[in-house]
Amino acid sequence: MATCLFCEIAQRRRPAEVVLDDPQALAFLDIYPSARGHTLVIPRAHAEYLGELDDALIGPLFQAVKRVTELLQRALGAQGFTVGLNHGRAAGQHVPHLHVHIIPRYAGDRGTGVQGVVRSAPDEPLAQVAAAVRRSAEPRPS
């Protein structure tokens, strides 16, 4: 694999403002913050997407997300959080290493919730969408 910016940060070969450092995950401030305290939480193991991360590492990643939200609330007085990840370039993922954004929210900020990220509701009935998703879980013939 080519050099990964976030792997280099996790290995401390690149500088970052680290706010949580544990054996499985690392959290650091986003260099292009959307709000005061905007933090990225990454698994130390390289995975571009959530589906590529070993199942045993998903829990520790989200435990780190939980811990960082607690730290940000206590340290900065955040009144809420928008938490999410951009999965793939079409969704806005710029660094090909799985990372969870934690964006502190404050009364009066100009942001929206995750419902405001995309505005392209499907034209088809929800039952049709759900049926397509359920079909994708069925075993495929060999």
pLDDT at res. 2: 62
Flag whether 56 is in a domain: yes
Please give the positions annotated as active site: 99
Name the pTM for this structure. Answer: 0.87
Flag whether 101 is in a domain: yes
Flag whether 127 is in a domain: yes
pLDDT at res. 129: 87
User: Domain holding 64: CATH number?
Assistant: 3.30.428.10
Containing structural domain, residue 74: 5-136
Q: For residues 100 and 87, what is the distance between their CA atoms, to the nearest angstrom?
A: 10
Number of domains in the chain: 1
Which 8-state DSSP code applies to residue 117? T
Flag whether 37 is in a domain: yes
Along the 142 residues of the chain, how does pLDDT read in single tens digits?
568 999 999 999 999 999 999 999 999 999 999 999 999 999 999 999 999 999 999 999 999 999 999 999 999 999 999 999 999 999 999 999 999 999 999 998 888 877 677 777 778 888 888 888 888 887 877 7
Flag whether 141 is in a domain: no
Flag whether 93 is in a domain: yes
Neighbours of 71 (CB within 10 A): 17
DSSP H helix total and E strand total for the chain: 3, 5
8 neighbors 14 (Cβ within 8 angstroms): yes
Flag whether 142 is in a domain: no
